Amino acid sequence: MAYKTMEDMPTMQFARNWKTWTGARLIHALLPKPYHFRRISFFRQTSSFAEFTYIMLIQIEHLMVSAEVALNMADSLRQRLCAYVDVYREVDFTVLFPPYV
């Protein structure tokens, strides 16, 4: 999820309470039983050139097994939070190079 803020909003107190205003606590509460957080990362803007002030990435174990659950959850969060919400799936692949002649 990505968050933009007004110029005077990003204070240290505001950043310390990120689990509340980002919706991390809400997501944890609404997450269906078979799923759980693998990792949650919170990043803060370090330069004035970044488009977003805060970025939160949540890796949820086995969420994409049922894409409907992931998409419904993302849609629900879009309505409740003022953030850019998206769902991505991790893909492992190997690039095979043709043998050189």
Question: Are 1 and 19 a contacting pair, CB within 8 Å?
Answer: no
For position 74, what pLDDT does the model report?
Answer: 78
Distance CA 19, CA 24 (A): 5
Q: Report the candidate in 80, 86, 43 with the shortest Cα–Cα distance to residue 64.
A: 86
Is residue 87 domain-resident? no
User: Which residues sit opposite 54 in a β-bridge?
Assistant: 3, 44
Across 65-71, average pLDDT: 77
pLDDT tops 70 at residue 91: yes
pTM listed for this prediction: 0.64
pLDDT tops 80 at residue 101: no
Query: Domain residues for 22?
Result: 2-80
Residues 6+ apart with CB under 8 A from 94: none
Is residue 14 domain-resident? yes
The number of domains in the chain is: 1
Sheet of strand 2-3, all strands in order from the earlier edge strand to the far edge: 2-3, 54-60, 37-44
pLDDT class of 92 with cuts at 50, 70, 90:
confident
Is residue 101 domain-resident? no
